[in-house]
Structure 1
Amino acid sequence: MTLTQLSYIVAVDKYRHFATAAQKIYITQPTLSMQIQKLEDELGVLIFDRSKSPVVPTAMGEEIVKQAKLILSGAKHIEDMVAVQGDSLKGTFRVGIIPTIAPYLVPLFLKPFINKYPDVELIFEEALTAEVLKGLNEDYFDVGIIATPTEQHMFEQDLFLEPFLGYVSSSHELVKKDKLCIDDLYKEDLWLLNEGHCFRDQTMKICKKNNEKRNKAPIIFESGNLETLKRLVEQDFGITLMPYLAMNDYDTRCENGVVKEFEDPVPSRKIRLVYSREFLKKNLIEAFAGVIKDSIPKELVSEDKAMVIE
């Protein structure tokens, strides 16, 4: 029995599919299957019921997976304790980050961090907020980057406030306004992300009013990707809200949408670094947060005249 084999059964338990688990941990499916079969033969029990789809652990398999998680967590603690010794920062650092932040924030700080801390192996995984928090509780992630407060026992560090922006099609009536007001917005007018995204929930909180005066557009489209919503606006369909960093490299020469700021107080979301264990990798967490804060646009540092939407 090896730690590698235990990590394989935990991966299959998580994804409930051998091929998906192999892809997620960057090995071939035959290797994954062979090692799990070898462990089952050694223990003399069947860990997974392969006749079902998705794959599920057997009754004994569930108990084995629970113990495997505890063993892997203990091994990780030992690695962490060694990694934080001395002056240099090193080791693996796994980050869970929500999809409405990842593509816009990570490119800003990735190269500065790697240049400054070349011995740290960064691993990023996009996940919804609930999945990030679950991963932190299970010691799968070292830290998470999210945009809502946590209700669980977590340590939090504020990174910055990110304003909401309106993205309006060129023919929309709001394109004539210098700045948007919250009272301009109606829920049914906006393109929204799928349920499960905190950005959708925050958008709905900003738009407190239902559509009482306009005819609803003959299209219903909810996306899991902010870029899709951008493209809809650019095809002259309505309006959506965007986080500031998503429009940071917006080029008015190439697009048909119009970016609109909000009047004060500007609705904003608070971007947070969250983690579940304060005593391990504390210096690495502080270094990570410091590079992010040094890499973001300076206009995001100020909290003046902001209305935080949680």
Structure 2
Amino acid sequence: MTITQLEYAIAVDDHRHFGKAAEACNVTQPTLSMQLQKLEEDLGVVLFDRSKKPIIPTEIGKLVLAQARNVLREAHKIQTIIADARNQHDGEFRLGIIPTLAPYLLHRFIGSFRKAFPQVTLVVEELQTDAIVEKLNRDHLDAAILATPLDLPNITEVPLFYEPFMAYVSPSDPLWKEDFIVSSELNSTNLLLLSEGHCFRNSVLKICSDSDALVQNRLMVEIGNFETIVRLVDEGMGNTLIPYLMALEMKGDAQKNIKLIAEPRPVREISLIYSRNQLKNKMIQKLEEIVKSSVPKKLLQKSGTVIPPK
């Protein structure tokens, strides 16, 4: 049994296809298949049910593959220990971030991170929360930035800042004349929402807690970005809630449509999360420092009511 054979087995588990796994490992499919067969012979078990499409692990295979991931993680830790000792980091750092943060936060800190680690390739993936958690658990991401608390086993959450929810109100709505919007007032309007799967949508539904009124009045927009929703609000189709960092970047007349929500002001907790088995601790600690320094200082203090994303 070799490290390379374990890497091939994990690749097959990840891709559920021999050809794609071989491509990911930069080897030919016959080479990968032969090494996997040798591994199975050495272990005396069949790791994958090849009769299924796509290929799936056998029951014993699931147990072996879980341990194989632990073995590879510990093996890779040797390189990380050496890099930390020499302060010479290279390779990739894979960062996940949710879509309701990426357009408004990434540009604030990417430059500083690259300056701190010039030899490291930063790979950013914009994903919804469930996909991020799955990739963290499968070691496909080193860390992620998203809304918390999630309270998941084997995942460490480090709060970075607390971002207020802001109301974005159509000029044709009577609420537009108000300086502060009471969240319950939004129940009687067409509330434009992101599609299911976005944690921001879940939080909005918690803030506007009269679900019966929302069902009767809301206009459901099956789209994954705020920009289209904001345009619909501008056209008088309804109102919405947006994150504070987005509000900071809005220009011109759009600024007039942004309204504070009355106390107790709802906020979302934005955290850096990573697997408790994570190896790249120095880079993660530096990333925490950089992100915190990139946002307005007033967001660093917990102020308001944290709305859970789930």
Larger helix proportion of the pair? 2
Q: What is the CA–CA distance in structure 1 between the aligned matches of 2:215 and 2:173, rounded to whole Å?
A: 13
CA deviation string 1:73-101 (max 9, x = no partner): 22222222222213455453222322222
CA deviation string 1:207-236 (max 9, x = no partner): 11135499636x533333333433433443
Q: Residues 190 and 282 (structure 1 numbering): CA distance in 2 closer, same or farther, change over 3 Å?
A: same
What letter corresponds to residue 242 of structure 1 in structure 2?
I
Q: What is the CA–CA distance in structure 2 between the aligned matches of 1:225 and 1:35, rounded to whole Å?
A: 44
The reply to whether residue 37 of structure 1 matches residue 36 of structure 2 is: no
Q: What is the CA–CA distance in structure 1 between the aligned matches of 2:22 and 2:239, rounded to whole Å?
A: 40
Structure 2 match to 1:202: 203
Q: Cα offset for 1:238?
A: 0.9
RMSD between aligned residues: 3.6
Q: What is the CA–CA distance in structure 1 between the aligned matches of 2:264 and 2:237, rounded to whole Å?
A: 27
What letter corresponds to residue 284 of structure 1 in structure 2?
M
Structure 2 match to 1:104: 104
TM-score scaled to structure 1, two decimals? 0.79
Structure 2 match to 1:281: 280
CA deviation string 1:237-266 (max 9, x = no partner): 21121111223321235x699222222332
What letter corresponds to residue 230 of structure 1 in structure 2?
V
Structure 2 match to 1:294: 293
Q: Cα offset for 1:12?
A: 4.4
Q: Cα offset for 1:309?
A: 1.4
Structure 1 match to 2:85: 85
Question: Secondary structure, in 3 states, of the residue corresponding to 2:193?
Answer: strand
Q: Which stretch has the larger CA shift, 60-69 or 132-141?
A: 60-69
Structure 2 match to 1:259: 258
Q: Cα offset for 1:51?
A: 6.3
Aligned 8 A contact 2:12 2:18 in 1: yes
Q: Which stretch has the larger CA shift, 186-195 or 44-53?
A: 44-53
What percent of counterpart residues are identical? 39
Provide structure 1 residue ranges, at least 5 long, that are not aligned to the other structure.
none
What letter corresponds to residue 290 of structure 1 in structure 2?
E
Structure 1 match to 2:117: 117
Structure 2 match to 1:133: 133
Aligned 8 A contact 1:10 1:65 in 2: yes
Q: What is the CA–CA distance in structure 2 between the aligned matches of 1:203 and 1:78, rounded to whole Å?
A: 44
What letter corresponds to residue 221 of structure 1 in structure 2?
V
Provide structure 2 residue ranges, at least 5 long, that are not aligned to the other structure.
none
Q: Cα offset for 1:271?
A: 0.7
Q: Residues 44 and 14 (structure 1 numbering): CA distance in 2 closer, same or farther, change over 3 Å?
A: closer
Number of residue pairs matched?
303
Aligned 8 A contact 1:233 1:257 in 2: no
Q: What is the CA–CA distance in structure 1 between the aligned matches of 2:179 and 2:247, rounded to whole Å?
A: 17
Q: What is the CA–CA distance in structure 2 between the aligned matches of 1:240 and 1:20, rounded to whole Å?
A: 42
